């Protein structure tokens, strides 16, 4: 859903318009979009297929990075174990199918922490510190939440420099400042973009400090509804056991969100500190980093995929334990380690199969090659506006500007569209509720450049119950519903209607009760 809304939709719009400026009434376009920019590179020649290949490349680079880091730490066998545990994680496979940006987030943060570790273990070479700064900036340029992970990693590195120095931090502050400057250079474009567009460099965050007439604490509360800490879900030891099970083998979306199972790799975070008392410096850094990231995630979110940037390090810690087992018991230990790895990968594969209908949809898509009409019919079951998009792209002039009501998935539309997110103010809300006659409302919308309004009725009802009833003023939902029904329809099916804002006598929809029950308020 989010992929068609903005992960792929925004790069497609940017390619079509030649501008990466934030879109009106679409708060997600104000967020850092570093991974989406990589998807846009793939789209230049191959549309979504090229973007999918970019995601596969990120997937492969994460695995390759784990092997390289293990070689640096002197344990290739631990690297291979971590490699398989990471790549077979059901959360990773889930993200790979859904085309969300988390693999890019994971790769950038992994490269940052890798460079930081190399700086700690290679005589504090300035080159590694500068590379760490660059990837820190790239990491924060993918998600605002990565600021917390970057700060946690820096704190762990500072703590490591104080070991053996009587608690004093031994940091070349000039070099550290230079690294911070490099990070700022890579992160600054997203801040400048928001500052120029909204007056708030981190919009929609810190709006109380910077202020914006189109944003409010209520909208921020709705937007951040999924970011509440796990602490609110845990009321006893059974909940903690359920969380651990959800993160390893038994996905429980009510406990840790969609794509819940991180996999066996996470166990190293808990077992390594118990079983390995005095690790070498590199492994000690990974241990402390994994624990710090787990704590940050636990206190700030509950969706398991937000923990994925920590998984490469957790998987390596688990691999280290497998390597120790093989060394301690010789040939028998190696056999046991291999059996445990095979069992873990199989278990993770089982939780992946249980995961989501999206995987079945992918499998079915391979049988539809050369059958576009059948593929369109099947895809329309998941995306009700797909046939309407075909009509818009084929029948409406290129100068058309369409205002969406309800629908927010704009990827397939090749005309200028404005699809307000459910968190933003909708241009039609206050205009329709202000009381002028429908003709005046139509003229005002036309004066803003709109030529058509597209309404996806199921989404209009769902978003109304879930979001609009909380964020729109009293009477605005009913007024908007009444207004669009007075307009002439140029396209209509069972779920989607495209209305014209031009003044000419054509068909209008019959009057009936509002799609949103006022009692819901």
- Domain boundary assignment for the chain: 31-359, 384-520
Stretch 243-260: mean pLDDT: 60
In whole angstroms, give the CA distance from residue 102 to residue 257: 14
Is 24 a residue whose pLDDT tops 70?
yes
Quote the crossing angle between the two packed helices 281-300 and 102-121, to the nearest 10°: 140
Q: Which one of 1-15, 195-209, 363-377, 486-500 scores highest in mean pLDDT?
A: 486-500
Q: What pLDDT, on a 0 to 100 scale, did the predictor assign at position 184?
A: 95
Q: What pLDDT, on a 0 to 100 scale, did the predictor assign at position 285?
A: 95
Q: Which two tokens mark 283?
A: 């492994």
pLDDT tens for each residue of 86-101? 888 877 877 877 778 8
Q: Under a CB-based contact definition with an 8 Å cutoff, are residues 305 and 357 in contact?
A: no
Residue 9 binned pLDDT confidence (cut-offs 50, 70, 90): confident
Residue 512 binned pLDDT confidence (cut-offs 50, 70, 90): very low
Q: What pLDDT, on a 0 to 100 scale, did the predictor assign at position 503?
A: 67
Burial tier of 201 (Cβ tally within 10 Å: 0-12, 13-18, 19+): middle
Q: Which two tokens mark 247?
A: 């993160």
Q: Under a CB-based contact definition with an 8 Å cutoff, are residues 351 and 266 in contact?
A: no
Q: What pLDDT, on a 0 to 100 scale, did the predictor assign at position 50?
A: 80
Is 334 a residue whose pLDDT tops 90?
no
Stretch 133-143: mean pLDDT: 95
Is 325 a residue whose pLDDT tops 90?
no
In whole angstroms, give the CA distance from residue 225 to residue 375: 35
More confident residue, 172 or 176: 176
Q: Under a CB-based contact definition with an 8 Å cutoff, are residues 467 and 423 in contact?
A: yes
More confident residue, 347 or 480: 480
In whole angstroms, give the CA distance from residue 308 to residue 313: 10
Stretch 313-336: mean pLDDT: 83
pTM as predicted: 0.86
In whole angstroms, give the CA distance from residue 89 to residue 101: 16
Stretch 429-438: mean pLDDT: 79
Stretch 119-124: mean pLDDT: 84
């Amino acid at each position: 859903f989010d992929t068609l809304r903005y992960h792929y939709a925004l790069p497609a719009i940017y390619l079509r318009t030649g501008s990466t400026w934030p879109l009106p009434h679409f708060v997600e376009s104000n967020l850092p979009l570093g991974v989406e920019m990589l998807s846009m590179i793939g789209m230049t020649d191959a549309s979504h297929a090229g973007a999918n290949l970019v995601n596969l490349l990120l997937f492969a680079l994460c695995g390759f990075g784990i092997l390289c880091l293990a070689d640096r730490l002197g344990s290739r066998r631990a690297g291979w174990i971590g490699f398989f545990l990471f790549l077979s994680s059901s959360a990773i496979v889930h993200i790979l199918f859904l085309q969300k940006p988390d693999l890019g987030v994971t790769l950038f943060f992994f490269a940052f922490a890798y460079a930081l570790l190399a700086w700690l273990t290679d005589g504090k070479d300035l080159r590694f510190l500068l590379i760490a700064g660059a990837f820190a900036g790239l990491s924060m340029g993918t998600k605002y939440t990565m600021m917390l992970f970057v700060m946690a990693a820096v704190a762990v590195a500072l703590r490591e420099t104080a070991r053996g120095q009587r608690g004093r931090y031994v940091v070349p502050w000039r070099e550290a400042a230079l690294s911070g400057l490099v990070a700022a250079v890579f992160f600054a474009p997203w801040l400048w973009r928001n500052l120029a567009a909204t007056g708030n460099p981190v919009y929609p965050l810190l709006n109380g400090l910077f202020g914006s007439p189109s944003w409010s604490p209520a909208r921020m509360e709705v937007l951040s509804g999924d970011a509440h800490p796990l602490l609110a879900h845990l009321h006893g030891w059974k909940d903690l056991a359920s969380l651990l099970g959800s993160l390893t083998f038994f996905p429980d979306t009510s406990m840790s969100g969609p794509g819940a199972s991180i996999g066996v790799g996470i166990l190293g975070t808990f077992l390594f500190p118990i079983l390995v008392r005095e690790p070498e410096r590199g492994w000690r850094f990974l241990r402390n980093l994994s624990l710090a990231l787990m704590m940050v995630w636990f206190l700030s979110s509950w969706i398991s995929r937000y923990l994925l940037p920590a998984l490469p390090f957790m998987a390596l810690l688990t691999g280290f334990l497998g390597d120790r087992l093989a060394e301690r018991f010789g040939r028998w230990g190696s056999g046991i380690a291999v059996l445990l790895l095979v069992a873990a990968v199989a278990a993770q594969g089982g939780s992946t199969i249980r995961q989501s209908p999206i995987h079945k949809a992918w499998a079915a898509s391979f049988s539809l090659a050369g059958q576009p009409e059948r593929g369109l019919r099947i895809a329309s079951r998941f995306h009700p506006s797909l046939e309407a998009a075909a009509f818009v792209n084929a029948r409406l002039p290129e100068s058309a500007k369409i205002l969406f009501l309800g629908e927010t998935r704009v990827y397939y539309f090749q005309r200028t569209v404005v699809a307000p997110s459910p968190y933003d103010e909708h241009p039609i809300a206050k205009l329709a509720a202000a009381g002028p006659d429908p003709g005046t409302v139509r003229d005002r919308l036309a004066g803003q450049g709109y030529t058509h309004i597209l309404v996806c009725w199921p989404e209009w009802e769902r978003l109304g119950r879930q979001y609009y009833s909380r964020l729109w003023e009293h009477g605005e939902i009913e007024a908007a519903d009444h207004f669009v029904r007075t307009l002439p329809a140029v396209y209509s099916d069972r779920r989607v209607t495209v209305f014209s804002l031009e003044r000419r006598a054509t068909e209008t929809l019959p009057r009936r009760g509002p799609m949103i029950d006022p009692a819901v308020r």
